[in-house]
């Protein structure tokens, strides 16, 4: 076992300890609301993926019969499309709008909608994390490639580690709320993926709607949000708080990277070339989602 692995493992254990302690210190009513939403979403995810797999198996391309990894990806993408891509943005929309109008801070607290929305998102991420790490690890790697598998694995892991801590400690709540709202664009992302898989005629219209929504929701607000974060007061933050702050910046960079790939792919397609495909999956997440 390498030194890097040992150090990384110890760091994750330490981070998990800090998050667990923060949850214990959180007001019981708020903690129970968050954990209840997380548990509910985990169960719903387990049900939705199985129902979707059974109801849509006849619509899978014929080539899937000899590719179990594609069948696993089909079901996982169906889950991402159906849950919680609509429920999380719905839960956080009111507190997001209130924060934008009333002013945001790096140290603001999480209200009911954010606690519920974050719980719903992380319940799905926990299920998907277990799917990536154990239940369908080999099939997921084969279907998506190691690079995207690592990206999704780390995204889910760090979201599960940092987001509850942020909410419990009233740190970086607004960026987390914003990232939760951006899960709305996963509807278009996953719908486009299905259109591409079955060669549906709506592929191009769906891609255009997704592209515009991605630009409006994830790209255009980014400069203002980054500026607001730069004005925040971090004087009382310790090293773990600052790790949370640094993690919060990563999704912004990923959004710009994915948007660049989407734009290049669209332009090359219009020119009749064969460029890189737009990203097949992303969180809501963060993101967040798959």
pLDDT average, residue stretch 256-283: 72
- Tens of pLDDT, residue by residue over 256-269, are 999 999 999 888 87
Q: Please name the residue ranges forming H helices in 182-276.
A: 186-197, 203-214, 222-230, 239-270
- Tens of pLDDT, residue by residue over 195-233, are 999 999 999 999 999 999 999 999 999 999 999 999 999
What pLDDT is recorded for position 14? 87
Percent of the chain whose predicted confidence (pLDDT) is above 70? 91
pLDDT band (50, 70, 90) for residue 290 = very low
Q: What are phi and psi of 145, to 5 degrees?
A: 95, 150
What pLDDT is recorded for position 3? 73
What pLDDT is recorded for position 234? 93
- Tens of pLDDT, residue by residue over 43-84, are 999 999 999 999 999 999 999 999 999 999 999 999 999 999
DSSP-assigned letter for residue 276: P
C-alpha to C-alpha distances, 127 to 58, 136, 156, 184, 238, nearest whole angstrom: 25, 11, 10, 19, 31
- Tens of pLDDT, residue by residue over 5-46, are 665 776 788 889 999 999 999 999 999 999 999 999 999 999
Could you tell me which of 144, 129, 159, 182 has the C-alpha nearest to residue 248?
A: 159
Q: Is 169 in contact with 238 (CB distance < 8 Å)?
A: no
9 burial level (CB within 10 Å; 0-12, 13-18, 19+) = exposed
Give the residues across from 287 on adjacent strands: 283
Q: Is the pLDDT of residue 236 over 80?
A: yes
């Amino acid at each position: 076992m390498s030194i890097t692995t040992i150090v990384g493992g110890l760091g994750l254990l330490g981070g998990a300890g800090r998050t667990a302690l923060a949850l214990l210190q959180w007001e019981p009513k708020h903690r129970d609301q968050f954990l209840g939403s997380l548990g509910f979403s985990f169960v719903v995810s387990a049900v939705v993926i199985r129902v979707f797999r059974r109801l849509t198996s006849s619509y899978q391309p014929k080539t899937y019969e000899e590719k179990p990894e594609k069948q696993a990806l089909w079901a996982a993408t169906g889950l991402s499309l159906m849950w919680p891509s609509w429920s999380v943005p719905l839960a956080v929309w009111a507190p997001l709008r209130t924060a934008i109008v009333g002013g945001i801070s790096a140290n603001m607290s999480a209200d009911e909608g954010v606690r519920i929305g974050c719980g719903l998102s992380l319940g799905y991420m926990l299920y998907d994390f277990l799917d990536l790490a154990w239940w369908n690890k080999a099939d997921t790697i084969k279907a998506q490639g190691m690079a995207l598998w690592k990206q999704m694995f780390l995204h889910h892991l760090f979201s599960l580690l940092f987001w509850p801590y942020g909410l419990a400690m009233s740190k970086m709540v607004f960026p987390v709320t914003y990232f939760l709202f951006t899960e709305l664009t996963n509807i278009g992302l996953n719908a486009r993926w299905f259109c591409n898989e079955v060669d549906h005629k709506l592929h191009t219209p769906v891609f255009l709607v997704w592209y515009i929504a991605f630009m409006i929701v994830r790209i255009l607000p980014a400069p203002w949000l980054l500026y607001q974060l730069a004005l925040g007061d971090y004087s009382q933050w310790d090293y773990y708080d600052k790790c949370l702050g640094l993690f919060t910046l990563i999704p912004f960079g990923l959004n710009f990277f994915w948007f660049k790939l989407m734009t290049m792919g669209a332009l090359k397609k219009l020119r009749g070339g064969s460029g890189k495909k737009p990203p097949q999956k992303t969180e809501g997440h963060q993101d967040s989602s798959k």
